[in-house]
């Protein structure tokens, strides 16, 4: 029967065997999965591990600070942050297709890790000893939905599975590859990670990049980041965090509608709220949020976020909708 302590012991032994005395880098996204996989590998090999956090400019408000402050404080992991917003946005310029966005983001993640790998090797003057292992927080549902499981169709290329480039220069360590999210949370708690990190709602690696329907630009990211922060704040204030699996906030950047504000006509974009309840993200139902909470979020977003004049609620379950819009 399943027990987080056993899984940890088993994985620690396996990781030590796989890695030996080599050095390893880990992809940290701020989400639960990579937080737990990194902590697990850190438990196994300590200072042989360097965690890498790529700030791709597609993050939500406050995320970078949470990783750089809270996560480091609770784990003692050595962390390097890569400032890559300009690079990612440059490559995403003119791209609207969801799968293309995912491939680009997945590829640029790996390029950023390869750069860190070279820098670390140069810094340590570790001649001829490349850092050949990369830790990823891939879960079982990621594997299945990216077409990795037997007989499954490719629904989306989750950036950390189907989105990897063919010339990958790393051997992957994926200690969560057979697990579901609730199991990963149990392991995180057992490893002593704070509730603020373990209890976090899922957030996709490609970040806000797949929550802007249309081209991703710095300006649109700023709009979405504000709307998302408002929605999260109100949901938390209303005590709804544990009831909701996650609530993507989506900017329909290619859609405009007519509105009226003060005594003027507006022609702005809609924001979609997509609150869902789920056990494992494989299926989901839309969450029946209280009307007063929806109303507060809608008022604050339309009054406070530039270029947004409408807030709409997604009432589709999965299937037929996926959780994210892209």
Show binding-site residues: 29-35
Q: CB-based contacts of 278: which residues, under 8 Å, 6+ apart?
A: 245, 246, 284, 285, 318, 323
Minimum distance between the CB of residue 100 and ligand XMP, rounded to whole angstroms? 13
Q: Contact at 8 Å (CB) between 79 and 51?
A: yes
Find how far residue 295's CA is from the centre of its chain.
27
- Would you tell me which residues interact with ligand XMP (CB under 6 A)? 102, 145, 156, 158-160, 202, 204-206, 246, 281, 318, 322-324
> By C-beta, is 23 or 142 nearer to ligand XMP?
142
Q: CB-based contacts of 134: which residues, under 8 Å, 6+ apart?
A: 24, 25, 26, 27, 113, 170, 171, 172, 173
Minimum distance between the CB of residue 267 and ligand XMP, rounded to whole angstroms? 30
Distance CA 324, CA 105 (A): 16
Minimum distance between the CB of residue 246 and ligand XMP, rounded to whole angstroms? 6
Helices 32-45, 181-190: crossing angle, 10 deg rounding: 40
> By C-beta, is 23 or 185 nearer to ligand XMP?
185
Minimum distance between the CB of residue 160 and ligand XMP, rounded to whole angstroms? 6
> By C-beta, is 45 or 105 nearer to ligand XMP?
105
Distance CA 236, CA 153 (A): 36
Residue numbering of the annotated binding site for ATP: 29-35
Minimum distance between the CB of residue 240 and ligand XMP, rounded to whole angstroms? 17
C-alpha distance from residue 86 to each of 78, 83, 89 (Å):
25, 8, 5
> By C-beta, is 20 or 320 nearer to ligand XMP?
320
> By C-beta, is 145 or 226 nearer to ligand XMP?
145
Q: CB-based contacts of 41: which residues, under 8 Å, 6+ apart?
A: 15, 24, 26, 49, 135, 173, 175
Respond yes or no on whether the N-terminal peptide bond of residue 319 is cis (omega within 30° of 0). Answer: yes
Minimum distance between the CB of residue 273 and ligand XMP, rounded to whole angstroms? 15
> By C-beta, is 12 or 312 nearer to ligand XMP?
312
Distance CA 266, CA 256 (A): 10
> By C-beta, is 40 or 281 nearer to ligand XMP?
281
* DSSP letters for 245-305: SB--EEEETT--EEEEETTEEEEEEEEEE--EE-SSSSSBEE----HHHHHHHHHHHHHHS
Minimum distance between the CB of residue 263 and ligand XMP, rounded to whole angstroms? 40
Q: Say if strands 276-277 and 308-313 run parallel, antiparallel, or are unpaired.
A: unpaired
């Amino acid at each position: 029967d399943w027990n987080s302590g056993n899984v940890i012991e088993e994985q620690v032994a396996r990781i030590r065997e796989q890695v030996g005395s080599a050095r390893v880098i880990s992809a940290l996204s701020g989400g639960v999965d990579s937080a737990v996989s990194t902590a697990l590998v850190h438990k196994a090999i300590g200072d042989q591990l360097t965690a890498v956090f790529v700030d791709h400019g597609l993050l939500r408000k406050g995320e970078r600070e949470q990783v750089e402050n809270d996560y480091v404080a609770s784990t003692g992991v050595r962390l390097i942050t890569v400032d890559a917003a300009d690079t990612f946005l440059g490559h995403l310029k003119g791209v609207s297709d969801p799968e293309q966005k995912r491939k680009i983001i997945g590829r640029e993640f790996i390029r950023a890790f390869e750069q860190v790998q070279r820098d670390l090797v140069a810094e340590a003057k570790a001649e001829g000893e490349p850092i050949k292992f990369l830790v990823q927080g891939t879960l079982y549902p990621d594997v299945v939905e990216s077409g990795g499981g037997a007989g499954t169709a490719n629904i989306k290329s989750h950036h950390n599975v189907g989105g990897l480039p063919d010339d990958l220069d790393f051997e992957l360590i994926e200690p969560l590859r057979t697990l579901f999210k609730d199991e990963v949370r149990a392991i995180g708690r057992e490893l002593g990670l704070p509730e603020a990190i373990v209890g976090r709602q899922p957030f996709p690696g490609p970040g806000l990049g797949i929550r802007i329907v249309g081209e991703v630009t710095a300006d649109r990211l700023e709009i979405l980041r504000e709307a998302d922060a408002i929605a999260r704040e109100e949901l938390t204030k209303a005590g709804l965090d544990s009831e909701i699996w996650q609530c993507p906030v989506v900017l329909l950047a290619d859609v405009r509608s007519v509105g009226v504000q003060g005594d003027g006509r507006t022609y702005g974009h809609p924001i979609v709220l997509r609150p869902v309840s789920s056990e494992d993200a494989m299926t989901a139902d839309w969450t029946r949020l209280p009307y007063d909470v929806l109303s507060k979020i809608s008022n604050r977003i339309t009054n406070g976020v530039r270029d947004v004049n409408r807030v709409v609620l997604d009432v589709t379950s999965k299937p037929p909708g996926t959780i994210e819009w892209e």
